[in-house]
Amino acid sequence: MTILTMRSYRGETDWCAIATLIDACEAVDRLGEEVSASELKLILDAPKLDKARDVQLWEDGNYKLVGLALLDMPNSPDEIDACLWFYVHPNVRGKGLEKDIIKWGEQRLREVGKGRNLPAKLRTYSREDKTDEIRLLEKQGFAVDRYFWTMARSLCEPIPTPEFPANFALTHVSGEQDIQPWVEMFNQSFIDHWNHHDLTAETVRYWMSDPNYQPELDLIAISGDRKFAAFCDCQIKPQENARSGNKDGWIELLGTRRDYRKMGLGKAMLLAGLHRLKAAGANTAKLSVDTNSLTGATKLYKSVGFRPMETWIEWAKAV
């Protein structure tokens, strides 16, 4: 039996081993999750991540990294809602490490919940076709909480011209002065969405520090009285495309402030985003969406040509 050692994250010196582990998992799982050095830095240097306590690594007797777990805990005044991301090397799967990782996540979350005197819920994701992972999560007491689609649309097909209501202008994020009004718009747009957690200016500022961030793809609709009314954050991930050989663009975020709904802004912003992605060299647009969206997002996406490609399951367990 292989003896594994658990240890804390040591910073940049672990990046190469982590990337190697994720790539080994991706070679088997085909989830589209290979990561570059810049992507790793963005994940592991996130300002709200407690690097000393919310990231754990497991090594074998030869000091080879075979397991990685990370707890992402958005700020919330009512409940601690943490997402557990974990990777287990294919060579050691099914031998107990997955259970140890989940146990660690539960213990850490209980500790945080007790310290804040709040109820805590642990979440994680799996793709619908990953039956071994589904069985594992079910045996560990997780229950299905939500389904999400990854949808795609060819950008080689005609894209309708966006039609904006009168007195609305299309522009893009242009710097620090736009961060706070963008955050306010985002939070007011998503406040009635399932499992929403308010975003902070600090987090958005950090996103914008990503070397791959393109402000010209971070679109905003501004009303006649200069309010941020709707947004469509598009992204092209060059490292991911280089590895896959594809030319994918992503609609990362799309939303309309509640005061400006039912005016056609959502569709106009989505179409504007598709045009920008095509102009930037993408030939396929992708996005992720809650299949039970209360705002009718799936209907909107289908109306402009998006079709479901994958189904992802969100699991939850009270701890």
Q: What is the DSSP string of 271-297?
A: HHHHHHHHHTT-SEEEEEEETT-TT-H
Model pLDDT, residue 46: 84
Model pLDDT, residue 68: 96
Nearest of 35, 139, 29, 48 to residue 90 by alpha carbon:
29
The count of C-alpha atoms lying within 13 angstroms of the C-alpha of 53, restricted to the half-sphere facing its C-beta, is 10
Looking at 117-165, list the stretches that DSSP marks H as alpha helix, in order from N- to C-terminal side. Answer: 131-139
DSSP structural state of residue 262: S
33 within 8 A of 22, measured Cβ to Cβ: yes
Written as one letter, the residue type at 168 is F
Cα 263 from Cα 256, distance rounded (Å) = 10
The secondary element (H helix, E strand) that includes residue 234 is strand 228-236
175 within 8 A of 317, measured Cβ to Cβ: no
**Residue reference for tokens 């500790």:** 111
**What is the token pair recorded at 280?**
């930037």
Per-residue pLDDT of the chain (319 residues; tens, 9 = 90+): 578 999 999 998 999 999 899 989 988 998 876 566 667 777 888 888 899 999 999 999 999 999 999 999 887 778 899 999 999 999 999 999 999 999 999 999 999 999 999 999 999 999 999 999 999 999 999 999 999 999 999 999 999 999 999 999 999 999 999 999 999 999 999 887 777 888 899 999 989 988 889 999 999 999 999 999 999 999 998 888 888 889 999 999 999 999 999 999 999 999 999 999 999 999 999 999 999 886 789 999 999 999 999 999 999 999 9
What stretch(es) of the chain map to CATH 3.40.630.30?
A: 5-141, 151-314
pTM (2 d.p.)? 0.91
Question: Strand pairing of 248-256 and 284-290?
Answer: parallel
Domain 5-141 falls in which CATH fold?
Answer: Aminopeptidase (3.40.630)
Nearest of 122, 108, 16 to residue 55 by alpha carbon:
108
- Within a 10 A sphere around the Cβ of 251, how many other Cβ atoms? 24
Cα 98 from Cα 87, distance rounded (Å) = 9
- Give the CATH number of domain 151-314; options: 3.40.50.300, 3.20.20.370, 3.40.630.30, 3.30.70.60: 3.40.630.30
